[in-house]
Amino acid sequence: MFNLPIAPEQASEFAKQYDLLFWATTALTVFFTTVVLIMVLGFAIRYRKGAKVNRKNAPTSHMLLEATWTVIPLVLGVMMFFWAAKLFVDARVPPKDAMDIYVIGKQWMWHIQHPNGVRENNTLHVPVGKPVRLIMISQDVLHSFFIPQFRTKQDVIPGRYTLQWFTATKPGKYNLFCAEYCGTQHSEMGGYVYVMEPSEYEAWLANEGTKIAAANRTPVANGKRLWDQFRCGSCHGPQDSLEAPSLFNWTGTAHPIADGSTANGDLTYFRESLLDPYRRLTRGYGKTMPDYGQQLSEDQVLELFAYVQTLGAAPEKLAVTKSEADAQGGESR
């Protein structure tokens, strides 16, 4: 007769775990609040002014009682802490076989790109039973990617990548919101998540988007076009040069920085090197890298990184020293 659900539908592996923790926390809170309230009311009524109650020889301490109301809440609190901490860590460590999907938040829409290059706005299609990792960044202000049925919510921050992952368990259509006020049209920044059977998802990937074949607009293909357009290879060749380090086998390795620290070859450092190249210069190089902050969108940064990741094996890197370069120049003359 009444359709009044007390919680959103459970549609991910996290949902049941978080709901169990939530209701356990709620139950303990209600229990101890009720016990304290009953005791306060009971003593207030029993020992109210004018009540005929023996108040002589009132005990000043009771070791067993004090130990009980100290130890039991302490143990329960520690148990709840470790339970919540485990869920927190699990939510931030995706499995190695998770499928990556890129998300860019901007006023006032969600822009999403799939592994084969298919893009969509304010909708997200995912397969059921497959771990999905969202790699997210904001193009302007702070946003928050929230899917209530999955019990997942993660801030999307300008200038920094954040991660969120989930495994959908039920095919269907679910809500997608921005849960952080981001301007006058914040309430309109929403959409839907469509969970599909794996075969249906693969068919959707193959047929979705524009008339351009998906194989010609993958992130790697788009990144290759950008690489050629900006002539990145003229400086970043297969071997380190005087102008720039090589980007072959660049991802996943540590790189020495001019200040003595190291930086991991990941998406964050790659983005920083494009948009703010002089913040952490590679050791041995000057300020020769152009600043692409006004030339590349967040989409294009992701596409360039996808291409650089394919630059695997290359000829052995040979550092070219200034004396060697001078010698080579002398020979050519």
pLDDT digits (tens, 9 = 90+) for 196-237: 999 888 888 887 644 334 445 678 888 888 888 777 877 888
CATH number (3.30.460.10, 1.10.760.10, 1.20.120.1730, 1.10.10.10) of 218-322 reads 1.10.760.10
Q: Lowest mean pLDDT: which of 95-99, 134-138, 280-284, 319-323?
A: 319-323
160-176 pLDDT per residue, tens: 899 999 999 999 999 99
Find the helix packing angle between 13-46 and 63-90, rounded to 10°. 160
Quickly list DSSP for 94-123.
--TTPEEEEEEEETTEEEEE-TTS-EEESE
pLDDT of residue 3: 52
Separation between Cα atoms, residue 26 and residue 35, nearest integer Å: 14
Q: How many angstroms separate the CA atoms of 83 and 75, rounded?
A: 12
Which tens digit of pLDDT belongs to each residue from 34-84? 999 999 999 888 888 888 888 777 778 888 888 988 999 999 999 999 999
Taken as a whole, the chain contains a residue count of: 333
Rounded percentage of the chain residues whose pLDDT exceeds 70 = 89
Distances (CA, A) of 75 to 17, 20, 70, 102, 139: 21, 19, 9, 42, 45
What is the mean pLDDT of the segment spanning 115-144? Answer: 90
Superfamily for the 1-41+64-211 domain: Cupredoxins -  blue copper proteins (2.60.40.420)
CB 76 within 8 A of CB 107: no
Q: Are 214 and 205 in contact (CB under 8 A)?
A: yes
Q: Report yes or no: 186 and 34 within 8 Å, Cβ to Cβ.
A: no
Domains of the chain: which residue ranges? 1-41+64-211, 218-322
Distances (CA, A) of 241 to 93, 224, 236: 37, 21, 8
